[in-house]
Amino acid sequence: MPGPDKRCTEDEVVAELSSGMTIGIGGWGSRRKPMSLIRAILRSDLNDLTIVSYGGPDVGLLCRSGKVRKVISGFVSLDSIPLEPHYQAARQNGTIQAAEWDEGMLLLGLQAAAWRVPFLPTRAGLGSDVMKNMADLRTVTSPYATVLPGQNDGGEFEELLAVPALELDAALVHQNAADVSGNSVWLGEDPFMDDLFVRAAQRSYVSTERILPTTELAGLGDIAHLKISRMDVTGVIEAPHGAHFTECLPDYSRDEAFQKRYAATAKSDEAWDEFRAEFLDIDEAGYQAKVKELQV
Amino acid sequence: MSDVSTPTPSSTAVTRADICAVAIAEAFRGDGERLCNPIGNLPLIGGRLAAATFEPHLALTDGFYTLMDPQSPDEVPPIALPEAERVAQRTVAHWNPYREMFGLLWQGKRHVMMGATQIDQYGNQNIAAIGDWTQPRRQLLGFRGAPGNTINHTTSYWVPNHSPRVFVPAVDVVCGIGYDRAHALGPVASRFHEVRRVVSNLAVFDFEALDAEGVPTMRLRSLHPGVTLEEVLEATGCDVVIPDDLGESRGPTEQELAQINRLDPRSLRLNEVPEP
């Protein structure tokens, strides 16, 4: 039987969030970010958020808009522009707290939360300043002895980094297609960690390029692309072009000209204020109309 | 062929960037069947050069989500292709989204060549931030995959702008871990750690020397043709061991030069390493 109809708007999602929450954002860098949901958060009075992300302009916009207490990330980058200028400024000005993990650690933290275990062990991070700077990270001693080849000494109980579960209050991801109850399809070549984000969260919201009947989902790619189940989804938002200006392949590539314009807003408060007034202090329909004008 | 040769008369057709490409390719010599994962234009040219010549079984990334197995040397794709061309010219052999890349690198069959904003005598690398990490003077890339890479598999570094600001006595933030950090972790935890080479626009370094405590430390392996030892020492802010039999980085063979030109048809390498 079909699942419940979970269609809602960006603003309805934001109304279900509250200040101080830990929010995970899917995608990777400046790729398939749920930007229409980010823009809705920018219009809201939410603040004091902890953001978990393979960060791109989602993190930069939230930092510049004073929404963020802490960012937990594997990196924050615009891809074609290696350094996210607003995140960079927030770090240099000390206006946010940061936990900068090894990229792979973030995957393990999300997986741990999705599997409801308190941590997952890894070698990644040992010996590096990730351990020194993120002082809340702990190690765990293996209960099983590691015996090196050719040694008969009974082995050693290895110490590994215990990546803590990244338990999320909410997750926001963008998918190429979904049905009304949240079964979702990613297209392109990488699912990123979106399926882990939605499993790691108490409440998960999928924005999507198009809402389709369930019967049409499997035909969009092979079944491996049906990566998110409705059981892990709280709300579905139809948001055509919703990932703009990040890429959402194969529907559209990154709007590099717009991204450059965004990056340039880090140069001065005036540049930011102008950008905000023109593109962010308006609703999503207004934003999309503006963007369309630019592309003519 | 060794990567170090006695000085030979230089050909006008060979640039410093070509020398760097060959030195980078040499870093992957002997890797056999594992993922050659250079990051940046010259590392990509060098890595693909190795695959197109003396190390044919290397696996290559398309830069994104697949590993490709070109079926002949001339099918190893050039770097920096427009997107449609990049996709058209890759022979996809394996799906490799990011989570799979983590799986692959945690298993260890990978040799990455990363950049380094700072590097020290033990091969500790910084790409995260300049100054105190807590509130850095300059925020850079963050740690990215450097901690996990260095403790799980072979790593080399590429430095296009050799200077005392890059080769430093101690890096501000340890992202990729060097031999002193690996040594402190002990032989079990560090058993997959290897920093093999540092290739710069001036010279090639390895870690085939030991310090007083027996920890591998940076050694000058060869000077690029036209570069003096004094020039390198002046540009190097960390301790480096100078061997008695210091040689010169070798130039490309005719076949290699043809491949370098094919792999980098727009000569992007000259933007990274201009002629001195």
> pLDDT digits over B215-269, tens only?
999 999 999 999 999 999 999 999 999 999 999 999 999 999 999 999 999 999 9
The residue whose two tokens read 């055509």 is A240
- Residue B22 pLDDT class (50, 70, 90 cuts): very high
| Greatest C-alpha distance within chain B | 54
CB B45 within 8 A of CB B269: yes
Minimal-distance CA residue of chain A relative to B184:
A127
pLDDT at B47 over 90: yes
Rounded to an integer, the average pLDDT of A25-30 is: 98
Does residue B200 sit in helix, strand or coil?
strand
- Residue B10 pLDDT class (50, 70, 90 cuts): very low
**What ipTM score was computed for the predicted complex, to two decimals?**
0.96
Chain A residues within an 8 Å CB radius of B148: 102-105, 122-125
CB contact under 8 A, A74 and B177: no
Residue B251 DSSP code: P
Q: What is the DSSP string of B49-65?
A: HHHHTT-TT-EEE-SSS
Q: Chain-wide mean pLDDT for chain B?
A: 96
- Residue A172 pLDDT class (50, 70, 90 cuts): very high
Contacts 24+ apart (CB under 8 A), B42-46: B42/B17, B42/B158, B42/B160, B42/B269, B42/B272, B42/B273, B43/B113, B43/B158, B44/B79, B44/B263, B45/B21, B45/B79, B45/B260, B45/B263, B45/B264, B45/B269, B46/B20, B46/B21, B46/B22, B46/B113, B46/B199
pLDDT of residue A151: 85
Rounded to an integer, the average pLDDT of B63-75 is: 97
Q: Kindly report the CATH number assigned to the domain that includes residue A232.
A: 3.40.1080.10
Minimal-distance CA residue of chain B relative to A95:
B135
Q: List the single residue in B140, B145, B182 with the smallest CB-CB distance to A103.
A: B145
- The minimum CA-CA distance between B206 and chain A, rounded to whole Å, is 21
- In a shared domain, residues A68 and A14: yes
The reply to whether A17 falls in a domain is: yes
Minimal-distance CA residue of chain A relative to B133:
A133
CB contact under 8 A, B147 and A253: no
- In a shared domain, residues A181 and A263: yes
CB contact under 8 A, A128 and B137: no
pLDDT of residue A296: 78
CB contact under 8 A, A253 and B187: no
Number of domains within chain A: 2
pLDDT of residue A64: 98
The reply to whether A112 falls in a domain is: no
- Taking only the tens place, the pLDDT of each residue in A43-102 is 999 999 999 999 999 999 999 999 999 999 999 999 999 999 999 999 999 999 999 999
CB contact under 8 A, B129 and A28: no
- In a shared domain, residues A62 and A155: no
The reply to whether A43 falls in a domain is: yes
Report in angstroms the alpha-carbon separations of A66 from A33, A46, A112, A173, B160. 19, 9, 29, 21, 37
- In a shared domain, residues A60 and A37: yes
Residue in A76, A148, A190, A253 to test binding to B, most B beta-carbons within 10 Å:
A190
- In a shared domain, residues A188 and A142: no
CB contact under 8 A, B151 and A100: no
* Partner residues linked to B158 by β-bridges: B115, B199
pLDDT at B1 over 90: no
The reply to whether A86 falls in a domain is: yes
- In a shared domain, residues A71 and A22: yes
Give the count of beta carbons closer than 10 Å to the beta carbon of residue B49. 28
- Taking only the tens place, the pLDDT of each residue in A184-206 is 999 999 999 999 999 999 999 99
CB B171 within 8 A of CB B210: no
Give which of B45, B79, B49, B48 is closest to B253, Cα–Cα.
Answer: B49
CB contact under 8 A, B146 and A146: no
Residue B122 DSSP code: T
CB contact under 8 A, B142 and A189: no
- In a shared domain, residues A136 and A197: no
Please state whether B186 falls in left (phi above 0), alpha (psi between -120 and 50) or beta.
Answer: left
Q: What is the DSSP string of A68-81?
A: EEEEEEEEE--SSS
- In a shared domain, residues A61 and A200: yes
Give which of B15, B54, B90 is closest to B255, Cα–Cα.
Answer: B54
Contacting residues for A159 by C-beta, under 8 A, at least 6 apart: A126, A139, A140, A141, A142, B189
> Over pLDDT 70: what percentage of chain B?
96
What whole-number distance in Å separates Cα of residue B50 and Cα of residue B38? 11
CB contact under 8 A, A129 and B175: yes
- In a shared domain, residues A171 and A158: no
Report in angstroms the alpha-carbon separations of A119 from A8, A113, A137, A269, B200. 34, 8, 11, 41, 40
Residue B80 DSSP code: S
Measured in degrees and rounded to the nearest 5, phi and psi for residue A159 equal: -95, 130
Does residue B107 sit in helix, strand or coil?
helix
CATH C-level class of B4-272: alpha beta
Give which of A58, A62, A60 is closest to A31, Cα–Cα.
Answer: A58
How are strands ordered across the β-sheet holding A138-146?
A119-122, A156-164, A138-146
Chain A residues within an 8 Å CB radius of B143: 74-75, 100-103, 128-130
- In a shared domain, residues A17 and A79: yes
What whole-number distance in Å separates Cα of residue B55 and Cα of residue A146? 33
Q: List the single residue in A128, A159, A191 with the smallest CB-CB distance to B143.
A: A128
The reply to whether A24 falls in a domain is: yes
Q: Where are the domains of chain B?
A: 4-272
CB A224 within 8 A of CB A256: no
Q: Chain-wide mean pLDDT for chain A?
A: 97
Enclosing H/E stretch for B207: strand B203-210
Measured in degrees and rounded to the nearest 5, phi and psi for residue A231 equal: -60, -25
Residue in A77, A93, A123 to test binding to B, most B beta-carbons within 10 Å:
A123
What global pTM score does this model have? 0.97
- Amino acid identity, residue A96? I
- Taking only the tens place, the pLDDT of each residue in A94-139 is 999 999 999 999 999 999 999 999 999 999 999 999 999 999 999 9
Which domain does A255 fall in, by range?
A: 10-103+166-213+220-295
